[in-house]
Amino acid sequence: MRAAPIRRSFVQAVMEAWSGGAGLLLPVGFFSGTAMLVPFALGSAPDVLSDIGPGMLWLALALASLVTLERVFQADLHDGALDLWVQEPAAISLVALTKTLAHWSVSGLPLVLLTPLYGLMFQVPPETTLPAMAAFGLGGLTFFLWGGVAAALSASVARGGLLIALLALPLYLPTLIFGGLTVKTGFEDSAFLFLLASTLFALGVAPPAMGAALRLAAD
């Protein structure tokens, strides 16, 4: 397959991510709101925040990744672009991966930059900031890959946000577990290797799964 259609798909997906639902503002607002409400609910004791902080940040990231996934493939199904993709079996998986990465670059990657700020709020040690940012980058990508599979499965469902959440959240669990451990232990523990392995597994499995789901949606 030529590179030009892939580039066009990426640019189109970035424009869709910005134009539909406030683009970056919606996931950032959801992530920030979820993270900032925790100290008000549980108190500001440093020992409490340091214990629950990494887990709450990962939960906020997982939930924030869901708010923009509903529109990843629905427009392509409605305007007929999906019918063109299915004519080339190898192309549909690449296009689906490209669109998912585009939405991640707009809605997920900027959340990594907020990690140091909210890490300080949750008493995350400064020496683990770099591992936390790396873990959030890998984890956010993994969330969007599995979320892309759920979005492809529900592409033909109107207002399928709840269905996407039900399908995607169980797939998020390994990343949540290993990501939270990585923030606490840093690069020296095996949790980071398991997190990296889960991301590589998602990169290998999610694109063909998205392609297969989109072919079913086009039929």
Question: Per-residue pLDDT tens for 58-93?
Answer: 888 888 888 878 777 777 776 666 767 667 656 788
> Quick count: other Cβ atoms within 10 Å of Cβ 86?
16
Task: List pLDDT tens digits, range 129-172.
Answer: 777 788 888 898 999 999 989 988 887 777 777 888 888 999 99
**What is the pTM assigned to this prediction?**
0.85
Higher pLDDT, 23 or 21: 23
Q: What is the mean pLDDT of the chain?
A: 79
pLDDT higher than threshold 70 for residue 20: no
Q: Reduce the DSSP state of residue 121 to 3 states and report it.
A: helix
What distance in Å separates the CA atoms of residue 198 and residue 136, rounded to the nearest whole number? 13
Q: Which residues of 110-139 are buried (b: 16+ CB within 10 A; e: fewer)?
A: ebbebbeebbebbbbeeebbebbbbbbbbb
pLDDT higher than threshold 80 for residue 179: yes
Which residue type, as a one-letter code, is found at position 10? F
